[in-house]
Structures are given as C-alpha cells and as structure tokens.
Chain A
C-alpha cells in the first residue's frame, strides 16, 4: 500500500474534525475524498501533507511511519483550493521554487532547473506564460501552474484540496478531464478532496465518503454509487428520493399508504428510511391499490427523458411540510400517462434501499 492512514483523530477545541479515520491509498491510485463541508476531509489531507498534526494515529508511506516528519521530508505535492501561487514571482519562478529551496547539496544547477520547468510548462500547456505573473492568468491557468509547481519537486504523493472549487463550471469540467488524463500519464498516487459528487465520480478511481469526521464508505466509483453502504452515502451521491416509514411485511407503510418492497425487508415493524433514485420510481394511477399518494407539481421535459416533480400529500414523519419527490421517465411513458400539473397519482419503486432510521 502506498499510503496508509491508521486511526487518525484530530480535534480543534471541542470540534472533532477527524474521528478515528483509517484509509488506504493504493500505489498509483487517484482517490477522491468526498463529503460535505465540515466533514473533516481537508483536515485529513493536511494531516497527510504535514501541515496539520494529528492528535493520535499514524500516517505511513510505503510502510515508513511519517507521522512526525516535517512537511519538507514527506515529499508531498499540495495543491490549494485558492492556488496559493507566489504573487510576486513569475510562473517560471513559481514552478522553480521547489527546486531552488532544496539544500545546497541537492539543488540542481540552473540549466537543469530551466529544463525541468520547461518540461512542466509543456505538461500543463502553459509554455507561453512562463514570464507572466499569477494575476495575469485566468483561474484555470493558475490552478495548472499550482499543479506544475507541486509536481516540480517530484512528489511521491499529490494532494489536491478542492482543486477546482474556485472555478466556473465550464473550466471545471475541462480541468477534470485534463487531471484524469494527466494522472493516466504520470501514475502518481493522488488524493483529492471535493464536495462535488459529480467531480468525485468522474475523476476518481476510488472514493472515500466522509461525514462528521468519520468514513462512511470506501470503494470504487461503481461500488459506491450502486451499493451505498449507509443512508448518508446514499443521499449524498446523486439525486435521491427519501421515504420515512415502517416495515410491514413486504411493504413500506407511510401514513395510510403502502409501497411494495422488492427485496426481503429487515425486521417487521421497524422504523426505516428508504431511498430510491429518480429513475427507480414509477408513477401509477391514483386508483392503483398500492403506492404513495402524491400530487404532480411540474413536468420538465429535456431531450429523450422527462422529469416529474411531485409533492407528497401527507407530511413526512417529523416534518410539517409535505415531502418532494422527483421521478425520471422516458418521453413515451410520460405520453402514456398523460400527466398534468395538479393531478393526483401514486408512486411505487422498482428498487428501494432500506436503512434502519436513526443512523
């Protein structure tokens, strides 16, 4: 294993930022740390980089314990959300910085520094901007310079803290693809932090979902998306519909309505939370014997599919407000149903994932 994080905890005053977290990053992997803000993912990244000291636990790199090493000995490349480029230096000098501050014995000669910087500038496609200052570059260009700067010291690990967080959607999409391709070329073990699930799903090989300082689930992108381990993991990844109710035999009872459960239920009579993706829900007529009674709010057509927004007729448990649901279906199906806003229908699920409530 390339990086091994063992039982790491960190508190700031009363706030537990990272709570007994263990994560493995295989050699050459691109791992995404995904979680809402305040879930401790950035703190974990900074602990790996040595910018923050863990209260307990250890960080290992190729079986070597680096928990108490200073950042400069860890050979870690760190890319900050807001670039953190040296504003008084040119792009060239920014990238050369890591080489220039090496101890005299290890410092490469000027010609070699120039060669290395040129290679990196080619790699991030910014050869024309060597003598510009960071303020003269766009956000996407700056982040590429930050990446080149981090790569200049030939780090063993690359850490990216919300690398695309400060960019607009278009540039973001481009850079994601570019990072993916770059990782394919360099195969450097990388960890990146994001709160954007699409980004994590698109860029990473493996995903670690964090919530409240704890790891909720670890796995490949496919695994995590298809088989979320916890209610949190399910609701955090992708669009989701949430049902709160009680298991009764082979159906879920919500108020007076019943929604059939496909897979064998947990314990009979238990309070549960169930999730379904928008394409896993089906709309049936109001007169159907089963299904949750809802009202059509809006029908949105986009391309070959349509999205229907629905409103629950009864308040969900513990909520005064009625719940909202979203169903995705084909245009043909929509035409068959002939839905109109305000119409009363029922919802059933082709697939429903059930988690005990209170988790």
Chain B
C-alpha cells in the first residue's frame, strides 16, 4: 500500500461517517417520500390528468366542437380574453406606482397604504363582488343615477384622467433649469388648475353640443363587462405591488440617485434604471396576477348575472355547463383553463431558475471599447 493510499483511507471513512450522521434511516426517508408522492398524486396529479382524459373522452373532434361550436362557450373564452388583460394592465400601473411610493418615499398614511394593498387578499371574493353590487347595482348608491343618465359621468371621468396626464406631462416637460422657467412653469398648482379647468370645459362643451356620449341612457356596470373588470382587478390588486415592494426596497434608491446626478431626467431614470432592475419581479407579479385573474370565480360570480354569451367568463361557463349535465363541455373548457395554469407554472419555474444577474445580461453592444 502506498503512502498516499494510506492517507486517503481515513479521510474516506470520515466522509462516510459525516454523511451517515446527517441522514435518517432508509425506512424513514422512503416512507416520507412515498407519503408525499401519494398525497400529491391523489390530490393533484390524478385530478389534473383526469380533466384532460374526460375532455378528450369522445375524441379530438368532439373536444374541438365543445369548445368552439357552442357560441356561448366561444363568447366566454373571448370575454375572459378581454377582461383579464384590462385588469392586469390596470394592476401593473397601480402596482408600480404603489411600490414606488411605498419603497421610495415616506409620507403620512404610508403604513395604511401598505396594509390596504393586502386587503383584497383577506376579503372573501364573494364579499368583494357584493361590495361592487352595493355601489354600482340598481339598489346601490350610484345605481339609480347610472340607470337614468349613466354616461353623464364620462366628461368628469375623462377630464380627471386628463388632469392626471397633464400633471405627468407638466413634470416631464418642465425645463430643468430654474432660470429657464417662465410663467406657468414656476407654478405647478396653477398650471394643473388651468389645465384641468380647460380640459373639463372642452369635454363639457363637446358633450353639450356634439353629444360625444349618449344621453339619458343607462350605463351598465353590474351585470356587464365593466363590473367584471372591476371585480377581477380588485381581487388581483395586490399581486404586482406585493412582488415589487421588497424588490425595490432591496435595491434601494442609490442607483436612481446616481442616474439623476449623471443628468438623467425622471423618464430616463425610470426606463433605464428602475425598470431593468425590477424587471424580473414585475414579470413574476404579472404571471401570478394573470393566473389569478383568469381563474377568478367568486367575485365575478356575484357581479356577472350569468347572461350567457354576454357576462359569462370561462370559470362561470364551466359551472353552468356542469349544472346542465354537459360534462364533456365543462371538461373541455376546464382543460383550457388548466392548460393556462400549467403554462403559468412552467413560466414561473423558468423564471425562478434563471439567476437574476445572468438573466439581465444583455449582449455587449459595442466592441470599440474592447482593448
């Protein structure tokens, strides 16, 4: 035996002993693993596989017919594809704004805002739906008004939106150097007031003389698409913001300050520094938000009114088909929802595997600087 081998042996023994000390007996290991696999199999794998088996029981042709030859089912798919993007888009805007405000500034009510963001998680979706019915429904606060002359709110709504855009534009285009600012540029409040009054006046004039929006007609929110969007957006409210707040807090304001000191304006800081840094958190939040929005049942159930072909989203359609004993139809729609869920899951796993630093590595743009 060589000296090296003699040295090698005790080390190998030691490794073996350390491993042994860290491991439970085989019976425990296998027992626990099998239990876990059995539970997941019975509760998750078999039902999911069963959905596809049931949906495809009578062949692909019937499956296809179940999905696209029934006009109500087809409409429900289109309705979901309309409602979900709007709700998700609204929550992306809200989520970034809220996360930015909470992570970067301290203001009165900051803690309250943080708590309120979580509210939709703790409120039962059915209660959330009921809430909207109580506000916008026929017997609700705004119901009678919306029914009598609903579109009268549109000039107000659009001019409010106009003021928001004006404020944004004001700060984006204001000359940076104070000595270059003249007149209204020096008075943000006055400028917003003047701009707001102007847009309000213009919109009312248009409504008064050209009837941009119909008069004396009811504007349906409950039992219509706007209600579905509101309910879906409310329920998925926290996803993007919840995902972004810790990311933004971890990154800190220093890179943004550095960008400002290098001469970047707010717009450039946001697109060139903030967005690339929060990109993966944002995508993750959108995926979760989307998954929940597509499958939302409770809140949507209350505000929908189940008008076939008009306010039935996919989950509602599944329930209706099931109640009508149209099991192949129900399973066909369910399989589409399940497929969406599986795709979301795959996307989520892909994102989690990707290390953030490597994920955000773009290709080098220029080669001149390479020595």
Contact = CB atoms under 8 A, between A and B. Distances in A.
Given A77-B261, A101-B268, A133 B361 contact: yes
Interface in B330-364: 357, 360-362, 364
Contacts of A187: none
Contact of B261 (A49, A88, A90, A133): A49
A68 interface: yes
Interface string A147-190: 00110110000000000000000000000000000000000000
Nearest to B365: A93
Interface residues of A, number: 44
A77 B360 CA distance: 27
A71 interface: yes
A144 to B, nearest CB: 15
Contacts, number: 101
B369 A121 contact: yes
A69 interface: yes
Interface stretch (B45-53, B156-164, B252-260, B315-323): B252-260
B59 interface: no
Contact of A71 (B261, B272, B276, B362): B261
B370 interface: yes
A114 interface: yes
Contact of A101 (B272, B357, B361, B364): B272
9 nearest CB pairs, A to B? A114-B368, A84-B254, A98-B262, A78-B261, A84-B258, A101-B264, A130-B369, A72-B263, A127-B371
Interface string A114-132: 1101100100000110110
B176 interface: yes
Interface in B257-307: 257-265, 268, 272-273, 276-277
B266 to A, nearest CB: 10
Contact of A131 (B176, B260, B370): B370
A72 B264 contact: yes
B178 interface: yes
B366 interface: yes
Nearest to A95: B369
Interface residues of B, number: 30
B28 interface: no
Given A101-B259, A101-B272, A118-B368, 12 more contacts: A51-B257, A70-B176, A71-B260, A71-B261, A72-B176, A72-B265, A73-B176, A84-B254, A86-B273, A130-B370, A149-B258, A150-B262
Contacts of A357: none
Contacts of B273: 86
Given A88-B360, A114-B369, A133-B357, A101 B254 contact: no
B12 interface: no
A232 interface: no
A168 to B, nearest CB: 21
A191 B360 CA distance: 35
B369 A92 contact: yes
Contacts of B178: 68-70
